[in-house]
């Protein structure tokens, strides 16, 4: 029987793996080869993308966990090497965000996304034997990714999903398809370079709603993960499959009279302006107790904020929103733009030191009420902390996503934490501390707010499997 070239390669890889896991260099083409037809893991047809991921998952599942780690280590290395490239291409393709901050986001993902160490076992041992609950892979995951953190999400999801033993078919945002597919290519090259399978992560050249629908309904996809706005999260949650919904937020930051007001102002401006406010966890509006509101505004101006007049606020509303089918929606040409660019759009010229636009307004002002994803911070003045908590809860719209507070009163912090009931609650720091950036804990760009898993990691992409040995292996 004739043995094909591909089969020979597979056998050699298998032998190398079994011997010592020694690194084998296969097809080490540079990641920045952007010729679309040469991208590894990217297919013309979604059925082929799913079939390839299924085959790769069958290869990865029996491999030692140590081998998964070897692939993950190479993904981390290549992400660090290509952080600048991904950041630049991401900004170029989507028109959104800040290259320097996107580089930091990639470094964070590369260095701190949990790998296989995130998986744990629960055990019961006794007279009737030993029972384990093991966290096993689902198989092939279908993952929808956003335009706001495109490659950060693809790489972070890939590490966590692979650590848990899965392969993944991505449905990247069409507005970020080139750079997302390049990140998928990098994941596969990282695997192949160390002797792992290709197609651990796959996608198609032309992602679309139709392609996503095939993924959502496909018999070979066992788990769906949606990172995006309410539309896609609701769609995957209606699919009839197990799904994780990482949806929209509108994080309020509450400042009470006990706060260190100057530090609060600096933290809020730093958090709000990170990557031009694209992260879903970023401060989207401020609720300030009357006693410190003026001082807070003063320090925010000192920290690089431009205070817009009522007329300028009106112009911003007319610029930032557009009407579509009778609905007010965000003007995509404003999302993820810098304060300077947004001000230019309403005829105001400022220097590079201006990082954020602030104004005082009612909670119902659309720039406060809606999730904007741009560095505009409305400030709602309230009489006291109780009114502040109630206002913040209203502004969070029940997304249960993120909320932040600056206060030195444990009582106030506790009261707010209980009332707001969000997946993320940062106290006395910028919002990005929630991602392990100046705060403890690991990062993710998929925060399962709607479905309650919170910050996703390898363990979130597993299913619980009970493994029972009767009448043996208890050695107590
Ligand atoms: P978006 O909702 O426009 O797109 C997200 C993804 O969903 C894209 O891949 C898009 O093609 C797809 N999509 C949208 N509607 C769909 C449908 N009905 N069926 C199938 N696919 C569909 O979001 P975006 O602009 O890329 O990202 C911004 C939004 O995502 C914000 O609301 C933000 O808060 C949220 N977000 C949440 C998290 C989180 O972890 N919770 C992370 C990033 C972004």
Question: Element (H or E) spanning 112, and its range?
Answer: helix 99-112
Please indicate whether residue 336, judged by its CB atom, sits closer than 6 Å to ligand 1: no
> Which residue's CA lies nearest to atom 16 of ligand 1?
232
The segments of the chain whose pLDDT lies below 50 read 1-31
Please indicate whether residue 231, judged by its CB atom, sits closer than 6 Å to ligand 1: yes
Dump pLDDT digits (tens) for 219-257.
Answer: 999 999 999 999 999 999 999 999 999 999 999 999 999
Q: Residue 18: its pLDDT value, please?
A: 37
Does the domain at residues 252-438 carry the CATH identifier 3.40.309.10?
yes
Buried/exposed code over 294-314 (b: 16+ C-beta within 10 A; e: otherwise)? ebbbebbbebbbbebeeebbe
Q: Are 185 and 42 in contact (CB under 8 A)?
A: yes
As a whole number of angstroms, the distance between CA 371 and CA 192 comes to: 41
How open is the CA angle 378-337-143, to the nearest 5 degrees? 100
CA proximity to 114, closest of 462, 473, 466, 476: 462
For residue 285, the SS3 value is: strand
Dump pLDDT digits (tens) for 432-474.
Answer: 999 999 999 999 999 999 999 999 999 999 999 999 999 999 9
Domain boundaries, the chain: 5-247+454-467, 252-438
As a whole number of angstroms, the distance between CA 105 and CA 83 comes to: 8
Q: Residue 29: its pLDDT value, please?
A: 45
Q: Are 93 and 179 in contact (CB under 8 A)?
A: yes
Q: Residue 38: its pLDDT value, please?
A: 85
Q: How far is the CA of 38 from the centre of ligand 1 (A)?
A: 27
CATH code, residues 5-247+454-467: 3.40.605.10
Q: Residue 3: its pLDDT value, please?
A: 39
Which of 229, 424, 434 has most ligand 1 atoms within 8 Å of its beta carbon, as the pocket-test mutant?
Answer: 229
Please indicate whether residue 174, judged by its CB atom, sits closer than 6 Å to ligand 1: yes
Q: How far is the CA of 194 from the centre of ligand 1 (A)?
A: 33
Show the 3-state SS of 384-419: CHHHHHHHHHHHHCCCCCEEEEECCCHHHHHHHHHH
Q: Is the pTM of this model over 0.75?
A: yes
> Which residue's CA lies nearest to atom 14 of ligand 1?
232
Q: Residue 24: its pLDDT value, please?
A: 36
For the chain, the straight-line distance linking the first and the last C-alpha, in angstroms and rounded, comes to 54
Chain centroid to CA 110: how far?
Answer: 13
Q: How far is the CA of 146 from the centre of ligand 1 (A)?
A: 5
Please indicate whether residue 247, judged by its CB atom, sits closer than 6 Å to ligand 1: yes
For residue 12, the SS3 value is: helix
As a whole number of angstroms, the distance between CA 384 and CA 412 comes to: 11
Q: How far is the CA of 374 from the centre of ligand 1 (A)?
A: 16
């Amino acid at each position: 029987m004739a043995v094909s070239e591909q089969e020979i390669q597979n056998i050699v890889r298998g032998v190398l793996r079994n011997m010592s896991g020694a690194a084998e260099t296969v097809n080490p083409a540079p990641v920045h080869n952007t010729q679309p037809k040469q991208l590894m893991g990217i297919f013309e047809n979604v059925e082929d993308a799913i079939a390839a991921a299924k085959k790769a998952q069958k290869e990865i599942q029996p491999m030692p966990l140590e081998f998964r780690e070897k692939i993950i280590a190479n993904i981390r290395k290549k992400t660090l090497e290509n952080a600048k490239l991904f950041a630049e291409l991401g900004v170029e393709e989507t028109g959104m965000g800040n290259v320097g901050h996107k580089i930091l986001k990639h470094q964070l993902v590369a260095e701190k996304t949990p790998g296989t160490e995130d998986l744990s076992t629960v055990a019961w041992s006794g007279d009737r034997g030993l029972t384990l609950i093991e966290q096993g892979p689902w198989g092939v995951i279908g993952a929808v990714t956003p335009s706001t953190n495109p490659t950060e999400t693809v790489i972070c999801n890939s590490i966590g999903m692979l650590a848990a033993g899965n392969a993944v078919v991505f449905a990247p945002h069409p507005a970020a398809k080139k750079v997302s597919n390049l990140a998928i290519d990098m994941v596969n090259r990282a695997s192949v370079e160390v002797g792992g399978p290709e197609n651990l992560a796959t996608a198609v050249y032309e992602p679309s709603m139709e392609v996503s629908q095939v993924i959502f309904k496909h018999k070979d996809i066992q788990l769906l993960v949606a990172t995006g706005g309410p539309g896609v999260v609701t769609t995957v949650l209606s699919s009839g499959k197990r799904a994780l919904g990482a949806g929209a937020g509108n994080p309020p930051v509450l400042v009470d009279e006990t706060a260190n007001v100057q530090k609060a102002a600096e933290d809020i401006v730093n958090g709000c302006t990170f990557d031009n406010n694209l992260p879903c966890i970023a401060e989207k509006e401020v609720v300030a107790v009357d006693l410190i509101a003026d001082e807070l505004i003063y320090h925010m101006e000192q920290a690089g904020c431009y205070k817009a007049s009522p007329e300028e606020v009106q112009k911003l509303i007319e610029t930032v929103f557009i009407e579509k089918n009778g609905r007010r929606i965000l003007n995509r040409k404003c999302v993820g733009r810098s304060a300077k660019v947004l001000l230019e759009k309403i005829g105001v010229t400022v220097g590079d030191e201006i990082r954020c636009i602030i104004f005082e307004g009612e909670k119902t002002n659309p720039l406060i009420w809606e999730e904007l994803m741009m560095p505009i911070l409305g400030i709602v003045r309230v009489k006291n902390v109780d009114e502040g908590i109630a206002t913040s809860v209203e502004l969070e719209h029940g997304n249960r996503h993120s909320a932040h507070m600056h206060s030195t009163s444990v009582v106030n912090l506790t009261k707010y934490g209980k009332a707001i009931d969000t997946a993320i609650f940062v106290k006395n720091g910028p919002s990005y501390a929630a991602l392990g950036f100046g705060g403890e804990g690991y990062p993710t760009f998929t925060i399962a707010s709607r479905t309650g898993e919170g910050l996703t990691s390898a363990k979130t992409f597993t299913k619980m499997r009970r493994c029972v040995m009767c009448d043996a292996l208890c050695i107590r």
